[in-house]
Amino acid sequence: MKKARRAVLIVLLLAGVCASTVGAVLAQEVISVSPGKSETREFYLNDVFDASCLCPVQGYIVNSIGPQTPAGELTVGLSCKPTRTFTSQVRYSVLGVGVAISFTAFDPAQLFKFFYATGADPGAAVSQKVAIDANLGIFALIIKIDKIIGEVPEDMQLPIPFTLTLAVSEGTPPAEPAE
């Protein structure tokens, strides 16, 4: 019995540490995007992601609320524009986890949303679409540099600039109930 309690306490402690770490990372900015609108953010990352400290990353919490017109889908665009004079490649990724809640109907199968997209510079921007199809969508986004491939000279110009574009389309309003 004592071993079971100890195991539960360890799991709760680890969960608390993970939750506080994620909360600290994601507290950088909350972005509200109404259905039919878009938002753009520019930011910098100064190094390759280090799993031992879970840094450096750029985190956002994105929400979309549409009381009358629900949100259709969230489009996340990410591009990297390093200013450098060497031949190397920057690989980066965006991870998104969220929930979508409808005010009119509850569908547990459509509640949780997840996506992961990767990109590389030079190359096209990452673009990922995820269906919200609900009145309220809340997503946590984490953006990181996965690796830099090629020779990296000492005078490499860091940090590397990124542009994040978020757009939410208008969804289809629910049908009026028949009387």
Share of the chain above pLDDT 70, in %: 73
Checking if the pLDDT of 122 tops 70, the result is no
Q: Are the C-beta atoms of residues 70 and 173 closer than 8 Å to each other?
A: yes
The class that CATH gives domain 28-170 is mainly beta
What is d(CA 176, CA 179) in angstroms, rounded to the nearest whole number?
9
Encoded amino acid at 171, one letter = G
Tens-digit pLDDT profile for residues 23-73: 445 558 899 999 999 999 999 888 888 888 778 888 898 989 888 888 899
Q: Are the C-beta atoms of residues 164 and 41 closer than 8 Å to each other?
A: yes
What is d(CA 79, CA 59) in angstroms, rounded to the nearest whole number?
15
CB atoms within 10 A of CB 50: 11
If one compares 149 and 12, the residue with the highest pLDDT of the two is 149
Tens-digit pLDDT profile for residues 74-87: 999 998 876 655 46
CB atoms within 10 A of CB 48: 15
* Domain ranges for the chain: 28-170
| pTM, entire model | 0.77
